[in-house]
Amino acid sequence: MGILNEDAVLIKEGENPGDNTVITVNCPDKTGLGCDLCRVLLLFGLSIARGDVSTDGKWCYLVFWVVGKPTTSWELLKNRLLEVCPLCTPAVSKIFYFRPEFQQPKPPKVFLLKFWCTFDRKGLLHDVTKVLCELELTVKRVKVSTAPDGRVMDLLFVTDTRELLHTKKRQDETKSHLNAMLGDNMISFEIELAGHEVIANPQGSTFLSPAITDDMFGLEFSGTHMGGALNSNHVSITVDNHLSPSHTLIHILCRDHKGLTYDIMRTLKDYNIQISYGRFCANDKGNFEVDLFIMQADGKKIVDPEKQNVLCSRLRMELIRPLRVQVMSRGPDTELLVANPVELAGKGRPLVFYDITHAITSLKIRIFSVEIARHRIHDREWEVYRVLLDEGDVSLVARSTIKEGVVKKLMGWGY
């Protein structure tokens, strides 16, 4: 049977304030492991200052120097990192090796959280989202509506990282945490297993008009940044097939942003590219430099110029526009749209909804309703957040300010 070695992940916290925490991962290898690990680090709100990656294709060794937070639960982080590490099994020779048949996780159950509040207030949805994040409940879809009398109904479809939401104890814990935050504002609260129509139709029922898709996805690479004028020259990607006899070297230099390492790793994972050696680090000027020795799934270098161009173009696009952000009219109302690409494995970018609600709250704007759904656009699956903003509050804030605020929060640029 598969064995999970707890020493596969070691975490050494910084001794002095400002020191990086060092996370070491030593386990069997698999294509996309770096992506899965970086996604967990992003989920915990950690930024990677630098990292080293080394593998022989069977066993890997990764070291991340991360910037932590006072509230980081390092023991919980270790458990979540261990969960994405491949299991191994002892052979007669006492050598551990990867057993892929053990890596078939079942899709998580989706639950509906439904509760009424006596009144709406600025930041209410963000506070709810923060509590759910702390409970390790992942929001898959959400519908928030404000009744004419001011009462608010929240419908949140969530999955439980701990896979315990079917138990009374876990449901009581969820209700207790939300009640502690909402207080007397909470009227009623219910948790139930989501209906079959939700599980069978994760794309939801929302329709994206051609005007929206053309505006946000008309050009997969437009040469402009989400937050303003920033052309492709700000991302430098070079390919070298001469330095190594068996690997292609990819060198990347670009502006740093939240989740940058994850954006690179998920792109390579989607293309089934294997990383044999890698080193990446951020500098004091806000830039990030990456060197990766890679090869194709067949163990060969990438020598085809067309394949090189396709990979570099996708990497450049993901680094310049890792998310799509737009503020536009929806009839007489104002709507914020945010879209992020979904991995081929089906996982979306973590904490996007949290960052959206945080940014909107900071702008002192109330959220009237929210819809989250997945859509297939230009042969890619996207997770699209449609946030209808309170018209009274929006009239006091320019649309460009709203977009800038959301972009800065999503990208981690000092907002």
Which residues, other chains included, contact 150 with Cβ-Cβ below 8 Å and sequence gap of 6+? Answer: 118, 119, 120
Rounded CA-CA distance 169/164 in Å is 8
**271 phi/psi in degrees, rounded to 5:** -90, 5
Query: In 3D, which of 403, 387, 386 has the Cα closest to residue 207?
Result: 386
pLDDT higher for 240 or 372?
240
Q: Using the structure block, give the residue that is written with the tokens 């996604």.
A: 39
Stretch 86-108: mean pLDDT, rounded? 57
Reported as a single tens digit per residue, the pLDDT across 280-293 is 999 888 899 999 99
Classify residue 157 as exposed, middle or buried by CB count within 10 Å of its CB (0-12, 13-18, 19+). Answer: buried
Q: What is the enclosing helix (H) or strand (E) of 270?
A: helix 260-270
- In this structure, are residues 235 and 316 in contact, taking their beta carbons and an 8 Å threshold? yes
- pLDDT tens digits, one per residue of 2-21: 555 678 999 999 888 889 99
Nearest CA to 165 among 156, 373, 124?
A: 156
Beta strand segments in 342-401, E: 367-377, 380-389
**Antiparallel, parallel or unpaired: β 324-330 and 367-377:** unpaired
In this prediction the pTM is 0.87
Cα dihedral 38/39/40/42 (nearest 10): 90
Mean pLDDT of the chain: 86
Round to whole Å and give the CA distance between 117 and 99.
49
Please give the helix or strand (H or E) that residue 240 lies within, else none: strand 236-240
Q: Which of 49-53, 108-112, 226-230, 320-324 has the highest mean pLDDT?
A: 49-53
Tens digit of each residue's pLDDT (9 = 90 or more) over 169-181: 999 999 999 999 9
Do the Cβ atoms of 116 and 124 come closer than 8 Å?
A: no
Kindly report, residue by residue over 201-244, the tens digit of the pLDDT: 555 555 677 667 766 776 554 444 444 433 334 899 999 999 99
Q: State the DSSP H helix or E strand holding residue 35, giving kind and residue range, or none if neither.
A: helix 33-43
pLDDT at 136: 94
**Confidence class of residue 89 from pLDDT cuts 50, 70 and 90?**
low
What pLDDT is attached to residue 102? 45
User: Measured between alpha carbons, how far is 342 from 324 in angstroms, rounded to an integer?
Assistant: 13
Instruction: Give 141's strand partners.
Output: 157
Q: Which of 391, 388, 402, 410 is nearest to 125 (CA)?
A: 388
Nearest CA among 129, 35, 136, 179 for reference residue 372: 129
- Cβ 239 vs Cβ 250: under 8 Å: yes
Residue 383 has pLDDT above 60, yes or no: yes
pLDDT tens digits, one per residue of 302-359 = 999 999 999 999 999 999 989 999 999 888 889 999 999 999 998 999 999 999 999 9
